[in-house]
Structure 1
Amino acid sequence: MRLTTVVLAFVFGFALFLFTQVGAWGQAGDAPPGGAVEAEDGEVYAAARLVVTYEEGAPEAAEEGAVEEVEGKVQEEIAPLDAEVVALPEVADEQPGEARQDALEQARQELESEPGVEEVSFDYLRRPTYTPNDAGFPEQYGLKKPGFPQAWGSSRGDDGDGVRIAVVDTGIDAGHPDLRGKVAAQRDFVDGDGIAEDDAEGHGTHVAGIAAAATNNRAGIAGGCPTASSSSPRP
C-alpha cells in the first residue's frame, strides 16, 4: 500500500483580507432575529433577515412599499449602496427548520419582484478568519504560531479529502474521538505487525491529533489538515 506523506507547510506573513457583505450580522453586535441557519455549503445566515438593494433613483415610496409588502422592519440603512437590512418578524415566528427557511426564501422572492428593488440576498455572517469551535483550540499555540488559522481563512484543504499523513511515532489511539475513522493504516516497527494502537506514551496520538484531528466538532482540539482522512484498510 502506497502511503503519501503530506508535509504541512508553515505559513508566514499570510495577508488575509476580510471579505464583508453589507448588513452582515455580527458587525452590530446584536443577534439575528430567530437565530441563524447553516446552509449545506457551510455558509451561515440570519434566519429572519434579508439585505435589500434598491435600483438607483428608486423613489422612497417604492422602498417603503416593498418592505410593507412582506411586513418587514428596516433594521439598518446603508445609504451609499441604496440598501437596507430588513428584519422579518413573521418569519422569525415560524418553527425553526424547513418551515422558517421556506418562509424566508418566499419573502426574498416577493421582495425581489417589487418595483424599484434590484436584488435581495440572505444576510450572511462574515468572519475575518475561520475559527473552529473545538474546546481546546484556544490553547493550541502549535497551530497558531505557524499561521494555520490565517491559512484556513483561504482554504481548509477541501480539495484534499482522503489525503494521508504519515506519522512515525509511539503509536496511536485509533479509537480516540478526534481520530476515529481517520487511521488509514498502521505498522508497529517494534513488534513487527500491523497493529500500532498500543500507544502507552500517548505522544503519537498527540502528534496525529495536531496533524488531522476532527475539527469544528465542539470537542478536543483542531487539526492542522482537518479534512485528511481515509477509509483504506490496515495492511
Structure 2
Amino acid sequence: MIDTAEAAFAAVQNWLDMRYEPAGDFRVRAVADGGPVWRAVVGRPGTHLGEFCARVDKVTGVVEVGFVPQIGPSARDGYMRMMRTTVVPELRRLGFTGSGRRFTLQIPKHSGTLVFQQSQGNTWMGVKFTADVSVASSPGWTARLGSISHHGCDHWWSVWAGFPSDEVAADLITAIRDHAVPLIKGERNPPGIPTAGSDVASFGQRLRDAVSHCLHRRSRSGPDHDKSPNW
C-alpha cells in the first residue's frame, strides 16, 4: 500500500534508478494525489519541474509512465493561472504592455516584444511553452527566450496538471528580467552580433577619417583639379 506522498516519491525514484542508467539521470520533482494513483513529475537535474509523468498505483505499488486520471485542473488551467497571477503582474512591473500572448516594452528609440507560444504536443497533463524576443530597430533581431537565458539552448518551460508552478514562474521571470529586458534596452549586445574589438573600432575610425579627408580635398580643389586616386 502506497498511502503517503513520501512513499510514492520513494517508489517512483526507485523505479527510475532501476530503469534508467546511470542512476541519478532522472529525479522525481513532485508528487500529487491522483485518486487511485499518485502522480509524479520526473526530470533531469536542472530542469524546471520536469520532463515527463509517471504514476504509482496506491494499492499495488506498480509504477508506469504516462497516463494518469484526469482529476482536477488541467495543465492549461495551471499555466493560465500562473501567467495571470504571477508572470503578467511582473511584466507590468518591468514596463511591458499588452495581453494574451504578446507583450511590448517601449523605450525611447525602439520597442521590443515578447510573444509566448505553446507546444503543439501539449496535453491535459502537461503544457510546454517558450517565448520569442524581438526588437524592431535597425538592425532588428529575434531570438528564443531560452536561447538567450539558458546557455544557448532552446529551453522550454513545463507546467503539469496538479503540480505547483512557482519554480517555473520564478525561472521564467528571471529569464525575462535578467536577459530579455537588458537586450531590448540595448544594455547588452544583440544575439548573433559580436562586439567590435578596439582594433576593429580603430580601423573603422581611420577609414572614416581617410574618406572624410578625401572628400574635403575634393570640395576645395573643385572638379577640374581633382587628382584623387581611384579607391
- The normalised TM-score by structure 1 is 0.23
- The normalised TM-score by structure 2 is 0.23
Q: Going by fraction, where is strand more abundant, 1 or 2?
A: 2
Q: Going by fraction, where is helix more abundant, 1 or 2?
A: 2
The structure that has the greater radius of gyration is 2
